Structure 1
Amino acid sequence: MKYSRTRMAIAIAGALALTSTLVACGDDKKDSAADANAAVTLNVVGLLPGAKPEAQKALADEVADFQKENPKITVKTKDYEWKATTFAADLAGGTLPTVFEIPFTDAKTLIANGQIADMQSSLSTLSYAGNFNKNLLQYGQGPDGHTYAIPAKSVYAIGLHYNRDLFTSAGLDPNKPPTTWDEVRSAAKAIATKNPGVAGFAQMAKDATGGWQLTVDTYARGGRLEDGKKATLTNDATKASLQFLKDMRWTDNSMGANFDYDWTGINQAFAAGKVGMYTSGQDVYTSLVQTNNINPKQYGLTMIPLTGSDAGVLGGGTMAAVAKTATANEKAAAVKWIDYHYLRKYTNQDAAKKNAEIQVASKQPVGTPELPIFSQQQYQTYQDWIKSYVNVPLDQMTSFTTKVFDAKLVNEPAIATQDVYKSLDTVVQAVLTDKNADIDKLLTDANAKAQRAIDSAG
């Protein structure tokens, strides 16, 4: 499978041109005091809770290889899942590892609040520090131009994930997934009718994921939830998205009986064959294998339907950050780990092959679709390096991978992101649980809550 080299007019927060750019490297005197010979114990984020033993073994092998290369650093991993509802308390309580993961949208707030470490001098030690996509790196940079959070993984675009077996059982062609929202609705009804107890389509609805996925639906219909510092939750695209969910829930009865899914829960249900379709980042296949034991043969990925002149696909990603309390030695060790664990495979052929070999030996996914952290050309080179190791069903994802680079990729709401999402959770829940839910009133109330959060964020 090849990504197009020429059609990368993708935007994050306006315009995301995936080209290599130079990164200005400042001078952080605190980092310069790091002792390269000091012994360091580094606590880092590991896998999601419940990851299979094979995935844990692959991570343990990677840690062991890292420690051979860096005998002065002892790495301890902690299983962890970022959640909007618990992250702030974990950070304030000091229970996070020294190296942890955050969404792109949260980095600026953490920098402004002085809650994560300045990593500029440590980052500048990497040979490829000047090759990051500038438009991605800027999400982790402060007003001083220093880098505090580093693009690490899961630069994603939302896709429509579907169960090929359930499509077949409903008389649908799994090689021709839906391309319009009307076709999604029709397929959901067919799946639910032929498979009692199965949701033809399911939607996340709690812990800020309801608002996240309603934003996905809104963007796909050409709407936006913010205009500068103004909340715009009452836009026509959001109303249409909610009406779509309401019609599937109450007219078609095609959304099953669980309306309280979060990211983890909907992944579990999908892998267990209880959900026919749902929307989430295109990279979720790796988690479905590592944590949910999905059967690769049943998995399919396609583009979400786009309608309207300003329709776009919601995009985002994960950054690696370091605790504010980290010592200079811990920060130096952290960058070495971030390099080894997340990034080196994209810039070094030997590292790419070694990582792939470890994953294959532990029966872990290699080749799950990603979006580039550096340039598209560099990512294509990386794909060529690992081509012989790829073990994911890419031929069941081509209706996504051959189209995503022609789509407009739009960043998440820029201000008070998680609060905006939380204000919409209750709207999604109400529409799915109350047949008489008043969409206009629900959105008016949510818009007021979102505006207060935006105003408070400054």
Structure 2
Amino acid sequence: MKFSRTSRAALAFVGALALSGTLVACGSSDDKSADAGSTTLDPNTKVTLNVVGLLPGAKPEAQTALAQEVTDFQKENPNITVKTHDYEWKATTFAADLAGGTLPTVFEIPFTDAKTLIANQQIANMQAYLDSLSYAANFNKNLLQYGQGEDGKVYAIPAKSIYAVGLHYNRNLFTQAGLDPNKPPTTWDEVREDAKAIATKTGQAGFAQMSKDGTGGWQLTVDTYARGGRMEDGKKATVTNEQTKAALQFLKDLRWTDNAMGANFDYDWSSINQAFAAGKVGMYTSGQDVYTSLVQTNNIDPKSYGLTMIPLSGSNSGVLGGGTMAAVSSKASNNEKAAAIKWIDAHYLRKYTNADAAAKQAQVQVASKQPVGTPELPIFSQQQYEQYQGWIKSYVNVPLDQMTSFTGKVFDAKLVNEPAVATQDVYKSLDTVVQAVLTNKDANIDQLLTDANAKAQRAIDAS
């Protein structure tokens, strides 16, 4: 599979990753290079670096692959000891984890959070360290700017999961419902019809929606964009728009008229993935890159998985895009920052710029039965990404032929950034709206959105 067009828009992100355990940044007792302002790690200086690992509950095979990656890195950098920690970003806990010092030294953040963390001086200026990488000038500048401060310096680095939201569907449930899994729905009316068929014929939820910890507002924004609406206009909240109302009415009809959404209306990102992989959900929307997590954490049957474009309607319709950035604690010493850029290079980025690194990582993943080739959007250039795909072609083990109705169309769609101001607060104000529509048959959509708009506006004004 190859994407056929260049990326058209800067992407933002609401993510997918949270943390357990209290971590203390561990540097060398002799940190003279930090005092000297050096950006180079003395090879005789010992550094212990705490970094993000996998999602909690990741399968042993995924842990094995990560452990091998750490071993290889430490052989290449014998003075750096890497300690990985399970991590899942959640809007409801991240700020407290950061303030309480429970995050690793190197952690992951949504594109939407970087500017606030920079302004609050909570993440380190990594410009000088980034400049040490040979490919530093090759980043997609539209992506890189999300991690830049007002001083123009880079504080957070585009790292992974650059995505566009798609419609994920269970091919087995489609077959059981008498639907053709090779012809997924292309309109919202068809989504509704297929959801009803799945619920009626299989007893499972034909369609499910995230609804808490900011994910309800995130996916309602996805639904709004797909219909041509927007949640903000500059610093003005616009969540009362007609497209958001239409998206909520769609959910209300599926839930109360069609009885096609099952019995669970309390999903977040992790739990909806779990339900989908277990065959309890026919369709849901999320980033196109979620297949990797479905394998690593949820043991999905690859034959059951399908990915298609989210239906788009209206002249201003678009696909919400996003991604993950790597950041370093502002409390990190210079030695830790120098070690961190080496890890960010080896763990996240080098595979896109070096054929040997790409092949080596793919070999480890295949040996550990991990996904290789899950669709992504380019961190660097389209040409460089297609070159990377060529390097790993012989190792690809994901069912790309079951994703072509997404990968063949995504670059024909408009990619739209997330709401730029008070993003997480805007999403959280909409969680309660989604929850009310799914749990209260008499929910008043207009009133719910009026109340949410006021909350969102207060958050925007305070930002």
The question of a shared fold, defined as TM-score above 0.5 by the shorter chain, is answered with yes
Aligned to 1:448: 454
CA 1:29–1:372 in 2, change beyond 3 Å: closer, same or farther? farther
Q: Is 2:434 the partner of 1:428?
A: yes
3-state secondary structure, aligned to 1:32:
coil
Paired with 2:259 and 2:114, the residues of 1 have a C-alpha distance of 40
2:90 to 78, 83, 92: 83
Q: Is the 8 A contact 1:300 1:397 kept in 2?
A: yes
Aligned to 2:17: none
- Please list the CA deviations of residues 156-191 of structure 1 after superposition, one character each: whole Å capped at 9, or x if unmatched: 000000000000000100000000000000000000
Aligned to 1:24: none
Structural mapping, 1:46-445, within 5 Å: 46-196=53-203, 198-445=204-451
Aligned to 2:6: 8
Shift of 1:29: 7.5
Which letter does structure 2 place at the counterpart of 1:97? P
- Please list the CA deviations of residues 409-453 of structure 1 after superposition, one character each: whole Å capped at 9, or x if unmatched: 001100000000000000000000000000000000000000000
3-state secondary structure, aligned to 1:10:
coil
Which letter does structure 2 place at the counterpart of 1:315? G
Paired with 1:366 and 1:189, the residues of 2 have a C-alpha distance of 34
3-state secondary structure, aligned to 1:125:
coil
Which letter does structure 1 place at the counterpart of 2:98? L
Give aligned-pair identity as a percent: 82
Q: Please give the TM-score of this superposition, normalised by the length of structure 1.
A: 0.95
Paired with 1:443 and 1:362, the residues of 2 have a C-alpha distance of 47
Paired with 1:183 and 1:313, the residues of 2 have a C-alpha distance of 18
Which letter does structure 1 place at the counterpart of 2:170? N
Number of matched pairs: 441
Paired with 2:352 and 2:270, the residues of 1 have a C-alpha distance of 28
**Which consecutive residues of structure 1, in runs of 5 or more, have no partner in the other structure?**
15-27
Paired with 1:29 and 1:148, the residues of 2 have a C-alpha distance of 20
2:48 to 41, 66, 85: 41
3-state secondary structure, aligned to 2:198:
helix
Paired with 1:302 and 1:13, the residues of 2 have a C-alpha distance of 20
Shift of 1:3: 1.8
Shift of 1:13: 6.5
Q: Is the 8 A contact 2:11 2:321 kept in 1?
A: no
Shift of 1:10: 2.0
Paired with 2:36 and 2:178, the residues of 1 have a C-alpha distance of 65
Q: Is the 8 A contact 2:307 2:404 kept in 1?
A: yes
Aligned to 1:17: none
Shift of 1:34: 4.7
Q: Is the 8 A contact 1:224 1:232 kept in 2?
A: yes
Aligned to 2:31: none
Q: Is the 8 A contact 1:31 1:122 kept in 2?
A: no
Q: Is the 8 A contact 2:195 2:260 kept in 1?
A: yes
Paired with 2:292 and 2:420, the residues of 1 have a C-alpha distance of 27
Which letter does structure 1 place at the counterpart of 2:54? L
CA 1:13–1:358 in 2, change beyond 3 Å: closer, same or farther? closer
Q: Is the 8 A contact 1:9 1:408 kept in 2?
A: no
Which letter does structure 1 place at the counterpart of 2:155? Y
3-state secondary structure, aligned to 1:380:
helix
Which letter does structure 2 place at the counterpart of 1:11? A
Which letter does structure 2 place at the counterpart of 1:318? T
- Please list the CA deviations of residues 381-425 of structure 1 after superposition, one character each: whole Å capped at 9, or x if unmatched: 000000000000000000000000111100110000000000000
Paired with 2:95 and 2:78, the residues of 1 have a C-alpha distance of 33
- Please list the CA deviations of residues 105-156 of structure 1 after superposition, one character each: whole Å capped at 9, or x if unmatched: 0000000010000101111000000000001000000011110000000000
Which letter does structure 2 place at the counterpart of 1:12? A
Paired with 1:59 and 1:235, the residues of 2 have a C-alpha distance of 45
3-state secondary structure, aligned to 2:383:
helix
Paired with 1:126 and 1:77, the residues of 2 have a C-alpha distance of 23
3-state secondary structure, aligned to 2:315:
coil
CA 1:68–1:33 in 2, change beyond 3 Å: closer, same or farther? closer
What is the RMSD of the two structures over their aligned residues, measured on CA atoms? 1.2
Shift of 1:326: 0.3
CA 1:122–1:294 in 2, change beyond 3 Å: closer, same or farther? same
Aligned to 2:30: none
Q: Could you tell which deviates more after superposition, 33-42 or 204-213?
A: 33-42
Q: Please give the TM-score of this superposition, normalised by the length of structure 2.
A: 0.94
Paired with 2:239 and 2:56, the residues of 1 have a C-alpha distance of 34
Paired with 2:43 and 2:377, the residues of 1 have a C-alpha distance of 34
3-state secondary structure, aligned to 2:154:
coil
Shift of 1:195: 1.1
Q: Is the 8 A contact 2:218 2:427 kept in 1?
A: yes
CA 1:29–1:430 in 2, change beyond 3 Å: closer, same or farther? farther
Q: Is the 8 A contact 1:316 1:411 kept in 2?
A: yes
Which letter does structure 2 place at the counterpart of 1:81? E
Paired with 2:38 and 2:226, the residues of 1 have a C-alpha distance of 44
Paired with 1:9 and 1:323, the residues of 2 have a C-alpha distance of 30
Aligned to 1:20: none
3-state secondary structure, aligned to 1:161:
strand
Which letter does structure 2 place at the counterpart of 1:165? N
Paired with 1:304 and 1:412, the residues of 2 have a C-alpha distance of 16
Structural mapping, 1:15-30, within 5 Å: 30=37
Which letter does structure 1 place at the counterpart of 2:156? A
Paired with 1:323 and 1:455, the residues of 2 have a C-alpha distance of 28
